[in-house]
Structure 1
């Protein structure tokens, strides 16, 4: 028993004395931060850093309120308020802050009167950050640091994926109270070590509950769309009016019909048993298999050539297998080839809009599924498969999320990017300087925002 207890006690004592040594060697009052590295170090402990030279931008009380807002939301959102001096050169500042902080998340910098932001793509898509930056860079908030930063944080904590880093202390501490302070620190540190295990367990349980709730909400959104698809497929079966014993029916036709019925039952059963968003991919795959079987059966009944296996109509998979690939250019976007059904091919050739599948986006409006959130990824993935879908959706809201680790973890998107490696949302994890810098290409801190020319407003 003593042999088992001794290593644990020794480890605890070492932690206490190491922390005490750090406390004893730290000055009572830190000198003003002179570099971006100092700001990054501070952000590892708290979500908001205000350089002493920029204190006129944000008061201590406002800083604390902003910190509380972020920590209460438990999101990896980092804010730095810096003076516009040579110590903080504008070029590459945002990327340097992210690299030196070393934690995946959303980063915002108020540099003098300028503002810029960036994020790891797995935490928030680049387009979403651009849009958010454009929103807060307006005359109403630009002249008031507190208003601008709160406007940014209010939206960022709603959209950011992941959780706050474990290193955050939850608020700044006071200065040492004199010679006796290190002793008090030792007592506090001892209590923290004793409570550490219980705290880690509580955090783990909280994160697990939150993740389960997010998955439940995503699955319910998908359930509405999939139920509509299953109902539409059932109605197609009813309209078919095929009887296995009818005149002219042969074994191949009956086999096609049997496969179509099996697909219907499989889709219903899979959806009833679905417990995770990724389970929906199998449901829509079954529906697509069934629709192809029906297309083959129809060809046999009418004496036509058996159709080649093609992806469904891009605009609405309920239209059935596509018959051609056509060049389609969305408003404000780049042209791409998409598979289409016969009816939509005619509409496009006549300059009309295709009959697109719309879904609820949560704001009371229905929009095409490719303009909706990541929850619809598994639904689309079952219809189109991992190799085809990213090319069809390039530049769209859904397409920008398919290859991220966050999407793969929560929505079963291994086919679209990380090979199914999975993992957590990614936000709040320590990655050091090994990160995707594409989300931190800030274009400056002047009016109109950064990101290489700013926000174009296009959906594609």
Structure 2
């Protein structure tokens, strides 16, 4: 912190002691352009927004206290207090689209309350239960505090990074951010605030290290796939090529480019799922193309070989048990099926563990969950990995928050995880819970 910043900070701290509290959210007297964009803009900086026209329902200090509670919990929970005449039609869908963050959204609209959430963060049933429990609490402060207390316990994922970014940096720390920090310190919450930020930095560093280790494995996969494309030696203009072959080849090339692009853009381990999913799609396209060129029956769409997805699509299921685990049926390529039938060990994909030794990926660290999830996504993965080290890690409650969900019984819904920015890329049918405010009498009685 620069000397000038320190002087401002000390002065502001003294001022805060004198005045008691300073609001971080929309001040009651502040002029603001109401509407969905205004709410979304405010939510980018803080989890609680109070419309100026509804400032009599929740004071600035009360809103700040709820906002700090959400930030301390590090959960993607958004709260808004809006006037009764705020446009109601498709309100939640518009708020979610404009904000673009996978999370839980609670809105107090006049005297009514409702909430919705992305399935990756909170199930529809959980949201509906929260709304049923708290919608009839008449006092806004009590209602929102009680709702947030339970929502942050239940929600998966982490808070959006923009809430940290809004605090500014040393070279140009905004006065508003300094006031916010001073308010936290004066309220006695400085230690908690520091711990939360330290934990976030630690988690980000752990994920960065995990991604770098995983990048080595994924780059090997991409390279192996590129070599398969070269070995195929297919030319769209060759005499025997037809439109179906060219379409297979084009899909295979598209998968290759997507995999490289997704990996280049990946910032967290869970984003690797998109890479390996693309490679799996591409390998099936190559299998179709090879069968057409050789005049063989087209292969059925099957999962890749469990032991090493680089072996290509599986041809059958075989019985196998990990060391010390129960036997289960796994998809295998022809070579590994033969080895198992002969009583030999399969040709397993090995990776470097934290101890530095090479082990099969199912005996490695948690970052390999997203890697395997792209190849064996959905409900298949839990059955394949049950009883393995990786399977045990993925079954823990904390795994979804750190490495994403969407692995069948191992986690919640797929797609973006809590706190991720997805923009308009979300399924309104999966963004559920308590309905909306417009046109359907969602709240019973007078309804809207």
1:418 aligns with 2:431: no
TM norm structure 2? 0.51
Paired residues, number: 242
1:390 aligns with 2:406: no
- Summarize the alignment of residues 256-271 of structure 1 with structure 2, pairs less than 5 Å apart: 256-271=248-263
Are the aligned partners of 2:17 and 2:186 in contact in 1 as well (CA < 8 Å)?
A: no
Are the aligned partners of 1:377 and 1:413 in contact in 2 as well (CA < 8 Å)?
A: no
Q: Report the Cα distance in structure 2 between the residues aligned to 1:234 and 1:197, rounded to whole angstroms.
A: 54
Match of 1:306 in 2: 298
> Secondary structure of the equivalent of 2:228?
helix
Deviation at 1:328, TM superposition (A): 1.3
Deviation at 1:386, TM superposition (A): 2.4
Q: Report the Cα distance in structure 2 between the residues aligned to 1:6 and 1:222, rounded to whole angstroms.
A: 49
Match of 1:277 in 2: 269
The structure whose Rg is larger is: 1
> Secondary structure of the equivalent of 1:374?
coil
Match of 1:355 in 2: 347
- Summarize the alignment of residues 29-68 of structure 1 with structure 2, pairs less than 5 Å apart: none
- Summarize the alignment of residues 104-119 of structure 1 with structure 2, pairs less than 5 Å apart: none
1:358-389: CA deviation from partner (whole Å, max 9, x where unpaired): 00002121000001111100000000012101
> Secondary structure of the equivalent of 1:223?
helix
Q: Report the Cα distance in structure 2 between the residues aligned to 1:329 and 1:208, rounded to whole angstroms.
A: 38
1:285-311: CA deviation from partner (whole Å, max 9, x where unpaired): 000000000000011011111111000
Match of 2:423 in 1: none
TM norm structure 1? 0.50
> Secondary structure of the equivalent of 1:308?
coil
Q: Report the Cα distance in structure 2 between the residues aligned to 1:210 and 1:420, rounded to whole angstroms.
A: 26
1:332 aligns with 2:329: no
1:123-159: CA deviation from partner (whole Å, max 9, x where unpaired): xxxxxxxxxxxxxxxxxxxxxxxxxxxxxxxxxxxxx
Match of 1:403 in 2: 395
1:246 aligns with 2:222: no
1:18-58: CA deviation from partner (whole Å, max 9, x where unpaired): xxxxxxxxxxxxxxxxxxxxxxxxxxxxxxxxxxxxxxxxx
RMSD: 2.7
1:204 aligns with 2:196: yes
Q: Report the Cα distance in structure 1 between the residues aligned to 2:202 and 2:331, rounded to whole angstroms.
A: 38
The unaligned stretches of length 5 or more in structure 2 are 1-15, 22-157, 159-183, 420-448
Q: Report the Cα distance in structure 2 between the residues aligned to 1:254 and 1:232, rounded to whole angstroms.
A: 21
Q: Report the Cα distance in structure 2 between the residues aligned to 1:366 and 1:357, rounded to whole angstroms.
A: 9
> Secondary structure of the equivalent of 1:414?
coil
C-alpha distance 342-394 of structure 1, shift in aligned 2 (>3 A) = same
C-alpha distance 206-330 of structure 1, shift in aligned 2 (>3 A) = closer
Match of 1:178 in 2: none
Match of 1:365 in 2: 357
C-alpha distance 311-298 of structure 1, shift in aligned 2 (>3 A) = same
Q: Report the Cα distance in structure 2 between the residues aligned to 1:403 and 1:333, rounded to whole angstroms.
A: 16
Q: Report the Cα distance in structure 2 between the residues aligned to 1:403 and 1:390, rounded to whole angstroms.
A: 8
Deviation at 1:200, TM superposition (A): 2.9
Are the aligned partners of 1:405 and 1:423 in contact in 2 as well (CA < 8 Å)?
A: no
1:368-418: CA deviation from partner (whole Å, max 9, x where unpaired): 000111110000000001210110111001011223331111111333433
Match of 2:282 in 1: 290
Q: Report the Cα distance in structure 1 between the residues aligned to 2:320 and 2:194, rounded to whole angstroms.
A: 51
> Secondary structure of the equivalent of 2:359?
strand
1:298-348: CA deviation from partner (whole Å, max 9, x where unpaired): 110111111110000000000000000011133432111000001111111
C-alpha distance 350-270 of structure 1, shift in aligned 2 (>3 A) = same
1:343 aligns with 2:338: no
Are the aligned partners of 2:381 and 2:407 in contact in 1 as well (CA < 8 Å)?
A: no
Are the aligned partners of 2:354 and 2:365 in contact in 1 as well (CA < 8 Å)?
A: no
C-alpha distance 252-7 of structure 1, shift in aligned 2 (>3 A) = farther
Q: Report the Cα distance in structure 2 between the residues aligned to 1:405 and 1:287, rounded to whole angstroms.
A: 29
Q: Report the Cα distance in structure 1 between the residues aligned to 2:323 and 2:220, rounded to whole angstroms.
A: 27
C-alpha distance 207-334 of structure 1, shift in aligned 2 (>3 A) = same
C-alpha distance 210-420 of structure 1, shift in aligned 2 (>3 A) = farther
> Secondary structure of the equivalent of 1:207?
helix
> Secondary structure of the equivalent of 1:300?
helix
